[in-house]
Amino acid sequence: MTDLSNNPLLDFNGLPRFAQIEIAHIIPAIEYLLAENRSQLEQLLAESNKPFSWDNLLQPMQEMDDRLSRAWSPVSHLNSVKNSDVLRTAHEHCLPLLSEYHTELGQNCRLFTAIKSIADSPLYPSLSQAQKKIIENSLRDFHLSGIDLNDADKKRYKTIKQQLSKLKSSYENNVLDATNGWSETICEPLQLVGLPDSALALARQTAARDCAEGWVFNLEFPSYFAIMTYAEQRELRQKFYIAYSTRASEQGPNAGQWDNTENMENILKLRQELAQLLNFENWAEYSLATKMAGSVDEVVDFLQQLAEKSTKMAEKDISELMIFAKTHLHIDKLQAWDLNYVAEKLRHHRYDLSQEILKPYFPENQVIEGLFSIVNKLYAIKINAVAGIETWHPDVRFYEIKDIHGNLRGQFYLDLYARPHKRGGAWMDECIVRHAQNGLVQIPVAYLTCNLTPPIADKPALFTHDEVITLFHEFGHGLHHMLTQINYAGVSGINGVPWDAVELPSQFMENWCWEKESLALIARHYQTGEVLPDELFEKMQAARNFQSGIQMLRQLEFALFDFNLHRYYQLNGKPQIQQTLNKIRQEISVFLPPEINRFQHAFSHIFSGGYAAGYYSYKWAEVLSADAFSLFEEKGIFDHKSGEDFLHYILEMGGSEEPMDLFIRFRGRKPNIDALLRHSGIL
């Protein structure tokens, strides 16, 4: 019998004990909690003669779910930020166990009947709005979990869910391994002409870390971005483009080594089978059952409307790049590996502006301090660092949020820099979810994770403006999680929020990266302390929508590919992924990538994340965020009343009410697409 008495994953007092967590703790803790939850649920349902209520069924279940979540959260997080073979093995062992448990809950007829009896009871009207929403969501989710299926189909549903869990993990592991599995050591300085000193210093630092000579560049984003944006040697850009755009595929320098082709086909096949099992025509329809958008046609019409309004501008953007490349850079035929490089040259030529010029004005400490000042002005909250907290890496910091009355509202870990064995991209995830138990409120805790440029030598980390926007985006998600005032975990923070509304707070925060008043707080030269000069600010504003037509179409290409792939996928055994992507590109793209491009093989959002048939959510929520911010444009970007309303109607309410109702309460009307088009320079 495994001794669980000192297992840190089973200690629910305070924060995760990252310094004490060992691989050997993971499987026993999860198996113990699953067995305990099953036993407790059986006891809760055993007294069949009692009238079920929130207090004798749903509240205990909330506490059961919370314990399991708190044990699994640090394991899942470590698998993303400190990946290793042994951790991966333990993580993958637990995935089917968790999948099986959640499927059991969703297909438990006694539990369904018990919860339905609460919804039908005379006491139901006396429950809070949040409690009612949890019950409503639960009854919906029972049907989406196969409660109505016969025994054979229920068994098949469970098998599919377990297989999908494994396949998604395998897909993500392949992306991580393929990203870590390729780098280029360069010893000849002439190959690196055009690269800024900061990029060269980072490559030197990477070489020293890897015990290599010269400069080491890899596929971590700060390194890859530098090559693609500044390297004058075209062959070098081409080499990096091919390595990056063929990750985890049958093409490129590591062809077949971590190939996701089979994973993708199997994921789509199983999703389609699952959707049809539940009487949906396809996975896109199934996906919309829990989203704001009302129908497949509504989503497609929305995306196509944006594409039609953006195409002319995108065509102009690409034409300008081609002309500039030919007349100024002697590039007769523009290739995919030229786009970033030519765009940066054109931006500098037209606006005398580049990301590198701005970086000295965005030192990490000033950006963080300014971000905290901005949310203080908006929401009257104060954020302070807390020392002595156990973390998973020396670079990670920990902060707490208090309101104007000194009440603790939330806490968060901040892990900013790219490094090996850390999943790419940026994300917010839940560490601890707010809920109340015996009158005591559990304070929410978030993980805020980025892959930004690290400090180099004795200099602080200097961020590009795009990296600052990324940080603000994730912090918006974090505020949604941490500032909630809902005491029921099922609809607390981001829980229960439809996926096409969950990006509203994150994209909303990005707006303060562009305003003069807010830039005065986040942009100061790291050596002189000088605020961002008016001249640079004006250049930033002039260049804000530079190439925005291309950027808009690129996101729409991803969204339409995702949605059409899940809408039209057929269980006929024929490959459909590349063909679907090619068709979308032919229809809306103004610049076709080379045939070797395998973007989809590393499109983690839809194949291993939560955005399957939901990538459109970014644009859908951007309409909400642009229109929400337009109120601040009218009233002032630090208008107290507007900030207070956004806090109370959006951030604090979690998923306790429908997002459209909350938006109307905040804005006084339904959202209007014009604000997004205006912000993008398209209107």
Positions marked catalytic: 474
DSSP code at position 186:
E
User: How many angstroms separate the CA atoms of 465 and 545, rounded?
Assistant: 14
How crowded is residue 360: how many other Cβ atoms within 10 Å of its Cβ? 17
In the numeric block, the tokens 């076709």 are attached to 592
- Residue among 26, 268, 275, 68 nearest 168 (CA): 268
Dig out the tokens for 559 from the structure. 């969204």
User: How many angstroms separate the CA atoms of 671 and 495, rounded?
Assistant: 22
In the numeric block, the tokens 């018990």 are attached to 114
Dig out the tokens for 410 from the structure. 């939330």
How crowded is residue 122: how many other Cβ atoms within 10 Å of its Cβ? 7
Amino acid at 26: I
Residues in contact with 339: Cβ distance below 8 Å, sequence separation at least 6, in sequence order: 321, 591
Look at residue 476 and give its three-state secondary structure: helix
How crowded is residue 300: how many other Cβ atoms within 10 Å of its Cβ? 18
User: How many angstroms separate the CA atoms of 357 and 553, rounded?
Assistant: 27
The answer to whether residues 372 and 361 touch, using CB atoms and an 8 Å cutoff, is no
DSSP lists the bridge partners of residue 440 as 437
Amino acid at 559: A
Q: Backbone dihedral region of 279: left (phi > 0), alpha (psi from -120 to 50 degrees) or beta?
A: left
The answer to whether residues 490 and 62 touch, using CB atoms and an 8 Å cutoff, is yes
The answer to whether residues 496 and 502 touch, using CB atoms and an 8 Å cutoff, is no
CA angle in degrees (0–180, nearest 5) for 561-478-71: 95
Helix, strand and coil percent figures for the chain, each rounded to 5: 60, 10, 35
The answer to whether residues 343 and 530 touch, using CB atoms and an 8 Å cutoff, is no
Quickly count helices (H) and strands (E) in the chain: 26, 9
657-659-661-667 Cα dihedral, nearest 10 degrees: 130
Give 383-452 as a 3 state SS string: EEECCCCCCCCCCCEEEEEECCCCCEEEEEEEEEECCCCCCCCCEEEEEECCEEECCEEECCEEEEEEEE
Residues in contact with 508: Cβ distance below 8 Å, sequence separation at least 6, in sequence order: 476, 625, 628, 629, 646
User: How many angstroms separate the CA atoms of 430 and 399, rounded?
Assistant: 15
Distances in Å between the alpha carbon of 294 and those of 5, 304, 500? Answer: 49, 16, 11
